[in-house]
């Protein structure tokens, strides 16, 4: 049995969530009406997973999460609204160490949680086996503080050189933290742009791109329309869609596409890599598969490696969930397996050898 502590100030939401877990049959549930009560209960007993509402009176979800991660670390799944404000708070929670999140389909008090019942159960089961990792939010520069760094790199309007190659990144659970570490280690002078397929709703990918743009030296943007792929830039696929690499009117473009219903994960890393192989020679591509549950990207990156491209998987030691990288490693499709902190240096070595 998986022991779950449900923390929400709404009695109705506590009842909805409890009913979902009890119907599943493999959960033991206890509830808390606010952050203070949750911390008391965590001090008395251990739980496999905590589901934590973000918006609560008194001690809010982020404050409660920071106490959990420093005092009684355990896997936490945030429950948030699908608003821009909710998305920003959720990303901050992931930075603090939350394993994953569930977006309420109907606002703060959702009467239709059954719409996300399967997703909720899958994410909580996965979280029970995940490794929580605490990170203090105050270690990061604000967008205003990061602006001089960008200016000092003389980015200006950015390079207008077309991509000579492409770095393709597939990532899911635990992605925001890993992406920050990856991008912070890359130089704006690099020749190859980065295209990212992060499994997230559209409300979240736009906020994540803005956040990463403020924290990293590389310019980061969400791809909401056909966009030229230029050197030294980072492109994030829009959530709830897929992304393809195409050549249009002689230009290399990242092109949003409607979801392929036959693929379970979106934006699809497999589809992204497959499309890139139709445009670039394999030697012009580097595939990265980072933390996340499932196996999205493994098949396409295995094919990329077999064709002569280079591939890299994040190692288990730094993954929140060692699912997607594991699938690539077990298929024999990873040239390198490294913790996230070591990946930027390896990319630089590969890029220098390709110059």
What residues act catalytically? 172, 199, 296
* Residue 156 CB partners (closer than 8 Å, separation 6+): none
Q: How many CA atoms lie within 13 A of 202 on its CB side?
A: 11
What span, in angstroms and rounded, lies between the C-alpha atoms of 220 and 175?
Answer: 15
What are all long-range contacts of 248-256, with beta carbons under 8 Å and residues at least 24 apart? 251/162, 252/162, 252/163, 252/228, 252/279, 253/226, 253/227, 253/228, 253/229, 254/195, 254/223, 254/226, 254/227, 254/229, 255/223, 255/226, 255/227, 256/223, 256/224, 256/225, 256/226
- Measured CA to CA in angstroms, residue 94 lies from 11, 60, 74, 321 at distances of 25, 15, 13, 13
């Amino acid at each position: 049995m998986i022991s779950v502590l449900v923390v929400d100030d709404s009695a109705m939401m506590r009842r909805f969530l409890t009913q979902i877990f009890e119907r599943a049959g493999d959960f033991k549930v206890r509830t808390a009406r606010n952050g203070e009560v949750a911390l008391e209960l965590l001090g008395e007993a251990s739980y496999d997973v905590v589901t934590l509402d973000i918006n609560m009176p008194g001690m809010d979800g982020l404050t409660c999460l920071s106490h959990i991660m420093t005092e009684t670390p355990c896997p936490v799944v945030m429950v948030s609204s699908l608003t821009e404000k909710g998305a920003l708070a959720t990303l901050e929670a992931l930075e603090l160490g939350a394993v994953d999140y569930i977006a309420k389909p109907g606002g703060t008090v959702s009467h239709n949680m059954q719409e996300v019942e399967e997703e909720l159960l899958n994410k909580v089961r996965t979280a029970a086996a995940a490794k929580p990792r605490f990170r203090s939010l105050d270690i990061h520069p604000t967008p205003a503080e990061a602006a001089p760094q960008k200016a000092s790199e003389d980015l200006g309007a950015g390079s207008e050189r077309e991509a000579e190659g492409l770095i393709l990144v597939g990532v899911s659970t635990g992605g925001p933290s890993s992406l920050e570490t990856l991008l912070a280690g890359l130089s704006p002078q690099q020749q190859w742009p980065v295209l990212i397929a992060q499994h997230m709703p559209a409300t979240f990918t736009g906020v994540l791109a803005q956040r990463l743009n403020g924290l990293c030296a590389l310019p980061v943007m969400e791809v909401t329309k056909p966009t030229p792929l230029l050197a030294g830039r980072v492109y994030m696929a829009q959530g709830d869609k897929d992304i393809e690499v195409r050549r249009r009117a002689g230009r290399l473009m990242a092109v949003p596409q409607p979801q392929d219903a036959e693929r379970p994960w979106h934006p699809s890393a497999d589809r992204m890599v497959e499309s890139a192989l139709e445009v670039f020679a394999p030697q012009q591509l580097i595939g990265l598969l980072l933390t996340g549950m499932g196996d999205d990207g493994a098949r396409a990156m295995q094919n990329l490696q077999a064709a002569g491209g280079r591939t890299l998987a994040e190692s288990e030691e730094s993954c929140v969930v060692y699912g997607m990288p594991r699938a690539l490693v077990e298929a024999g499709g990873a040239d390198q397996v490294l913790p996230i902190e070591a990946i930027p240096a390896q990319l630089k070595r590969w890029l220098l050898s390709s110059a």
